[in-house]
């Protein structure tokens, strides 16, 4: 099994990449100068999330009544918590099929962003380290 060694401590940069990817979908790749990849990911995840909000309204983000879905939705960006703050009062009720579809779209967008965060951190780790000589 190949062992890897780092030229410098990569943890702060990895943390920054993960944080950037969470705040803005594709942000982790942008920090690594992967502009095209970052752009594709940003546009796709933002469109999927917005489509979910359009179908089910912002009421689909429900931090009280649908907590498990909310954990997946907040993976899109911490800004989702702002929407959650407004909808927590129950002022935007949504039920049945639109609610289901909205939750599925917004949560899938969040889980896709989680995949991108993990992948961008792993990519940054590989670039900051080199194989250790046996």
What tokens appear for 67 in the block? 């907590």
Residue 99 in contact with another protein, rule: CB under 8 A: yes
Which residue in the set 6, 64, 79, 97 belongs to the binding site for another protein (CB under 8 A)? 97
Residue 18 in contact with another protein, rule: CB under 8 A: no
C-alpha distances (whole Å) from 123 to each of 57, 93, 117, 127 are 35, 41, 10, 6
Nearest distance from residue 3's CB to another protein, in Å? 23
Measured CA to CA, the distance from residue 88 to residue 48 in angstroms comes to: 22
Residues in contact with another protein, shown as a per-residue x/- string from 38 to 77 under the rule CB under 8 A:
--xx--xx-xx--x-xxxxxxx------------------
């Amino acid at each position: 099994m190949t062992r890897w060694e780092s030229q410098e401590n990569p943890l702060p940069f990895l943390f920054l990449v993960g944080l950037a990817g969470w705040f803005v979908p594709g942000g982790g790749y942008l920090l690594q100068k992967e502009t095209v990849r970052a752009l594709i990911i940003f546009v796709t995840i933002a469109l999927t999330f917005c489509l979910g909000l359009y179908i089910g309204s912002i009421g689909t983000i429900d931090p009280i009544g649908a907590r498990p879905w909310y954990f997946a939705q907040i993976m899109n960006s911490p800004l989702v918590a702002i929407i959650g703050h407004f909808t927590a009062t129950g002022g935007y009720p949504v039920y049945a099929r639109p609610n289901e579809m909205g939750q599925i779209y917004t949560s899938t967008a969040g889980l896709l962003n989680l995949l991108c965060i993990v992948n961008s951190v792993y990519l940054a780790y590989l670039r900051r380290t080199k194989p250790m000589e046996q």
